[in-house]
Amino acid sequence: MKILDGKKISNDIKEEIAVEVAQMKERGEKVPHLAAVLVGNDGASLTYVGSKVRSCEKIGFESTLIHLPEETTEEELLKKVEELNANPDIDGYIVQLPLPKHINEEKVLMAVDPEKDVDGFHPVNFGKMALDMESFIPATPFGIMELLKRYKVDTEGKNVVVIGRSHIVGRPISILMSQKGEAANSTVTLTHSRTRNIEELTKQADIVVSALGVPKFLKESMIKEGAVIIDVGITRVPDETQKRGYYITGDVDFENVEKKASFITPVPGGVGPMTIAMLLKNTLLARARHNK
Ligand code: GUN
């Protein structure tokens, strides 16, 4: 079994980007500027956004955190989005999800300028991605593709089972892996809560991508010998004995599944860090595209 070390690969990618940023600075060019909008005080979102901003600083990007109170109205948030669209200094930005219940998420995501949509959540980007056109690929599936590429995992003609049909992970990764190209050319089955006999499908899979959010869902008995396991789950399990009051766990019963897998991503330290690295990559791409 080999660990797909997302922490290491994400650090490699960040170093590569940092080198490019340093060269941009030397040439007297504007460096990429990422903004993040966070509404409210959701614990996980605060952690993610903080981590994104810190990563920007480390690699030499400019970053702006716009932290709005929980009571922010939809109208106020849409106004902020319009400001970011109009601000030429901002190359790309994200609106951290989930948004408070009183705000229509779809309406907000639709208002983001697709050329600044470094999350790749706007329908224009999703559509372009599905049609193999230049777009912004959502950071988590983009990170999974990059991890598979850098470890030279053979995906050609392989059976891939994706668990979960979310717009952010399951749906886009199923599209990307079925496309032509490196880390792709796979035969993909997209499974979800209404799938029958999921075990029969996962047992046939050369690669399983689990993006469900149910701790230890994927058991050793559900996979075949030598399968590649990508665990996208990040669940906070309350635990008083932990300093933070919780521990983080994935969808995969790691201790047992690792014995049977050929490659596996750990949680934490697998797909999670890749997501941030690819968001930075998208921001670098946004800067370059705005220069065109
Ligand atoms: N919430 C969970 N994952 C993400 C992400 O990749 N981007 C944004 N904006 N919100 C999220």
Contact 120, 93 (CB under 8 A): no
Q: First CA to last CA across the chain, in angstroms? A: 44
State pLDDT tens for residues 143-183. 999 999 999 999 999 999 999 999 999 999 999 999 999 99
The verdict on whether 52 is a catalytic residue reads yes
State pLDDT tens for residues 278-291. 999 999 999 999 88
Residue 166 marked ligand-binding: yes
Is the confidence at residue 292, as pLDDT, over 80?
A: no
Catalytic residue among 5, 14, 52, 116: 52
Ligand 1 pocket: which of 42, 67, 95, 96 to mutate (most atoms within 8 A of CB): 96
Residue identifier of the C-alpha nearest atom 7 of ligand 1: 96
Q: Is the CB of 97 under 6 A from ligand 1?
A: yes
The verdict on whether 119 is a catalytic residue reads yes
Q: Is the CB of 119 under 6 A from ligand 1?
A: yes
- Boundaries of every domain in the chain: 27-113, 139-272
Q: Is the CB of 96 under 6 A from ligand 1?
A: yes
User: Which tokens is 245 given?
Assistant: 């009051």
Find the angle CA(172)-CA(254)-CA(275) to the nearest 5 degrees: 35
Ligand 1 pocket: which of 34, 37, 119 to mutate (most atoms within 8 A of CB): 119
Q: Look at residue 1 in the predicted model and tell me its pLDDT.
A: 86
Residue identifier of the C-alpha nearest atom 1 of ligand 1: 97
Does this model's pTM top 0.95? My answer is yes
- What fold is seen in the domain 139-272? Rossmann fold (3.40.50)
ipTM for the predicted complex comes to 0.94
State pLDDT tens for residues 228-253. 999 999 999 999 999 999 999 999 99
Catalytic residue among 5, 80, 96, 231: 96
Q: Look at residue 2 in the predicted model and tell me its pLDDT.
A: 96
Instruction: From residue 94, give the alpha-carbon distance in Å to each of 84, 88, 264.
Output: 10, 16, 29
Domains 27-113 and 139-272 share a fold: yes
In ligand 1, which atom is closest to the CA atom of 94? 9
C-alpha 6 to ligand 1 mean position (Å): 18
- What fold is seen in the domain 27-113? Rossmann fold (3.40.50)
Residue 164 marked ligand-binding: yes
Residue identifier of the C-alpha nearest atom 3 of ligand 1: 97
Catalytic residue among 117, 119, 206, 253: 119
State pLDDT tens for residues 178-215. 999 999 999 999 999 999 999 999 999 999 999 999 99
Q: Is the CB of 110 under 6 A from ligand 1?
A: no
What SS3 state is found at 247? Answer: strand
Which residue in this structure is represented by tokens 């008995």? 221
What whole-number distance in Å separates Cα of residue 197 and Cα of residue 49?
38
What whole-number distance in Å separates Cα of residue 227 and Cα of residue 223?
7
Q: How many CA atoms lie within 13 A of 264 on its CB side?
A: 23
